[in-house]
Amino acid sequence: MKTLGLIGGTSWHSTIVYYRLINELVTEKIGSQANPELILYSLNIELMREQDHEKINSKYLEVSEKLQQAGADAILICANTPHMTYKYIQPRLKIPVLHIGEAIGREAKRLGITRLGLLGNKPTVTGKFIPDYLQDNFGIETMLPSANDILRSHHFVSKELTQGKFTEEARKFYLEQTDLFHQKGAQGVVLGCTELPMLLDKEETKLPLIATTQLHARLAADFILEKEGIFESKRQ
């Protein structure tokens, strides 16, 4: 098995979910008598809240290099938003970063989806790191909420979900957003915050929900188990 370096802490709640899922998915294949070797570096979430992109890039590169030196065969960023660093850190590393967009794109392709709504905090929804990856690698169009709804979503993520608060108000808001995406012609919705699948667990919606945490963990498990095709350069 390969060794994976995890960068967590944004938030620590979702990092726990990542750690648990990766172990569960790998032990499904190798048996419960063993577990994968993981190297975890948990950052202070305040780094992301400062939104100093130069500082964020520098820190994620520093941490990735430490994990690389410690023996990691690849890096997994245990959150959506920090993937804003991908284009900066990947060319400077000798090992791959398993992009969350790859996990999203593969699931959308499996479901035959070409148009996705995107939910999350403001940096994730307004950033290009998920929409560009999906368009460039899978030909998938990304639809966004209204400007006001982006701000409201950012409030729920930063003030509640990443602090472990899961309210009825937030649940209703995100269910309404999935309905709005359905009306606009989306074929599915990306839950682009690692806490959103926890909030909307087992909810019935008009559109399939692309839970990035679970899919990203599956991509990580496949890499650890050395499955073929993790880094295909061509899409079929």
Print the SS3 string covering the chain: CCCEEEEECCCHHHHHHHHHHHHHHHHHHHCCCCCCCEEEEECCCHHHHHCCHHHHHHHHHHHHHHHHHCCCCEEEECCCHHHHHHHHHHHHCCCCECCHHHHHHHHHHHHCCCEEEEECCHHHHHCCCCHHHHHHHHCCEEECCCHHHHHHHHHHHHHCHHHCCCCHHHHHHHHHHHHHHHHHCCCEEEECCCCHHHHCCCCCCCCCEEEHHHHHHHHHHHHHCCCCCCCCCCCC
Is 229 within the bounds of a domain? no
- 91 in the same domain as 8: yes
Q: Is the residue at 234 inside a domain?
A: no
Predicted TM-score (pTM) of this structure: 0.86
Do 91 and 105 fall into the same domain? no
Number of domains in the chain: 2
Pair (105, 12) in one structural domain: no
Structural domain span for residue 67: 4-100+214-224
Domain membership of residue 231 (yes or no) is no
pLDDT at 176 over 80: yes
Q: Based on the fold, state whether residues 144 and 202 are members of the same structural domain.
A: yes
Q: How far apart are the first and last CA of the chain?
A: 27
| Same-domain status, 106 and 206 | yes
Q: Which residue has the higher pLDDT, 224 or 229?
A: 224
Judge if 205 and 111 occupy the same domain. Answer: yes
- Do 93 and 107 reside in the same domain of the chain? no
| Domain presence at residue 132 | yes
Residue 135: give its domain's CATH number.
3.40.50.1860
Structure confidence by residue, pLDDT tens digits, 10-32: 778 889 989 999 999 999 888 88
- The string of pLDDT tens digits covering residues 125-143 is 999 999 999 999 999 999 9
Contacts (Cβ under 8 Å, ≥6 apart) of 10: 43, 45, 47, 48, 78, 79, 81, 82, 162
Residue 233 lies in a domain: no
**Cα–Cα distance, 92 to 149 (Å, whole number):** 36
Q: Do 75 and 60 share a structural domain?
A: yes
> Does 114 lie in the same domain as 87?
no
Q: Is pLDDT above 60 for 236?
A: no
- The whole-number pLDDT of residue 70 equals 97
Does residue 195 share a domain with residue 124? yes
